[in-house]
Amino acid sequence: SFVTHVASQGMANSPLYACSRSVKLSEFVQHVKIMGADSDFRFSEEYEALKMVGREQPSTAADLPVNRGKNRFTNILPYDHSRVKLIPVDDEDGSDYINANYMPGFNSPREYIVTQGPLPSTRDDFWRMVWEQNTRSIVMLTRCIEKGREKCDHYWPIDSEQTYYGEIQVAVLNESKYPYWTISEFKVTLDMESRVVRHFHFTAWPDFGVPEHTQTLIKFVRAMRDRAQYSPHPIIAHCSAGVGRSGTFIVIDRLIQLIKQSDTVDIFGNVYEMRKERVWMVQTEQQYICIHNSLRTVLEGREDDMPT
Ligand SMILES: CCc1ccc(NS(=O)(=O)O)cc1
């Protein structure tokens, strides 16, 4: 396999190997089996090699006293170089700050915006970001309450009543509930301009874990991509911290598009690139393995083997 080849060629110490590990699609199923052997020994080794990627980069804006209360978790802070900046409000310190980073995708270098689950105190900032960044798709990968803990504010209207979030009005136009996700359309209005924003809410992903069936996640990714298509507008993806589930979702979305045009994949390189933009993207080894198993499911044509 690729790992054996690398070892035999003494490539393991090459700089290229440090940030990319391409595998031929024709060898990918075998590659996953080898990586998972000996209790996932090689998955552990490869995931460990990602540990410090990006961590040398500063997050000074996030650390400013005026902004500290805007972070859901004190250890999940956006790097300065890739953070999304809100249009500042006159003379209001920190008014350009939101815990969010631009993230590259298959189609563009800023295809996604990854952010934390809004707090009650930052939900107006979240809607400012939606409006200012001209987002038309929001992907939510957490429930608002999980195991009795608030993971994300319910930042959209509870019913069909139009609701103000700062100066922005949001109304739920429609809602389609499926077994493991809900797809809604919101009417978002500022001044005299209105836009339709789709909300893709996946509700079957336990925090720090992985969905029960890879097929369920793959179908959700396809449901989003089929509707978002190749929109020039950044897709906002969030969970609670905006690193584990959001990172895993984005890698799978990228891979499903990539394999239509390439005969090799580099999952390590994808995660490496994303961790340069936001900390801890793909937060657990199990999520890293889930990405491999999801691609394996697609390549083996097993997407329809389980209920969605
Ligand atoms: C310790 C902070 C933290 C909390 C939750 C998560 N999970 S998530 O990024 O999938 O929401 C990741 C990190």
Q: How far is the CA of 242 from the centre of ligand 1 (A)?
A: 7
- Please report, rounded to a whole number, the percentage of residues in the chain having pLDDT higher than 90: 88
State the SS3 of the chain. CHHHHHHHHCHHHCHHHHHCCCEEHHHHHHHHHHHHHHHHHHHHHHHHCCCCCCCCCCCHHHHCHHHHCCCCCCCCCCCHHHEEECCCCCCCCCCCEEEEEEECCCCCCCCEEEECCCCCCCHHHHHHHHHHCCCCEEEECCCCEECCEECCCCCCCCCCCCEEECCEEEEEEEEEECCCEEEEEEEEEECCEEEEEEEEEECCCCCCCCCCCHHHHHHHHHHHHHHHCCCCCCEEEECCCCCHHHHHHHHHHHHHHHCCCCCEECHHHHHHHHHCCCCCCCCCHHHHHHHHHHHHHHHCCCCCCCCC
If pLDDT is split at 50, 70 and 90, which confidence band does 6 have? low
CB 267 within 8 A of CB 247: no
For ligand 1, atom 13, the nearest C-alpha belongs to: 241
- How far is CA 83 from each of CA 124, 129, 211, 225, 283, rounded to the nearest angstrom? 18, 12, 29, 24, 19
Q: Would you say residue 205 has pLDDT above 90? A: yes
What's the whole-number mean pLDDT along residues 224-249? Answer: 95
Q: Could you tell me which residue, 151 or 161, shows the higher pLDDT?
A: 151
For ligand 1, atom 6, the nearest C-alpha belongs to: 241
If pLDDT is split at 50, 70 and 90, which confidence band does 208 have? confident
CB 23 within 8 A of CB 264: yes
pLDDT of 12 reads: 64
Q: How far is the CA of 142 from the centre of ligand 1 (A)?
A: 10
Ligand 1: residue of 71, 75, 76, 101 to mutate (most ligand atoms within 8 A of CB) is 76
Establish whether 239 is a catalytic residue. Answer: yes
Q: Which of 2-11, 18-27, 182-191, 244-253 has the lowest mean pLDDT?
A: 2-11
* Reported pTM: 0.94
What are the tens digits of pLDDT across the range 17-67?
Answer: 778 899 999 999 999 999 999 999 999 999 999 999 999 999 999 999 999
- Please report, rounded to a whole number, the percentage of residues in the chain having pLDDT higher than 70: 95
**pLDDT averaged over the chain?**
94
If pLDDT is split at 50, 70 and 90, which confidence band does 235 have? very high
Number of H helices, E strands in the chain: 10, 13
CB 251 within 8 A of CB 103: no
Q: Would you say residue 7 has pLDDT above 60? A: no
What are the tens digits of pLDDT across the range 72-100?
Answer: 999 999 999 999 999 999 889 999 999 99
Atom of ligand 1 nearest to the CA of 242: 9
Q: How far is the CA of 207 from the centre of ligand 1 (A)?
A: 7
What's the whole-number mean pLDDT along residues 96-119? Answer: 97
Q: How far is the CA of 272 from the centre of ligand 1 (A)?
A: 18
- Closest C-alpha to 295, from 251, 243, 245: 251
Q: Would you say residue 8 has pLDDT above 60? A: no
pLDDT of 75 reads: 97
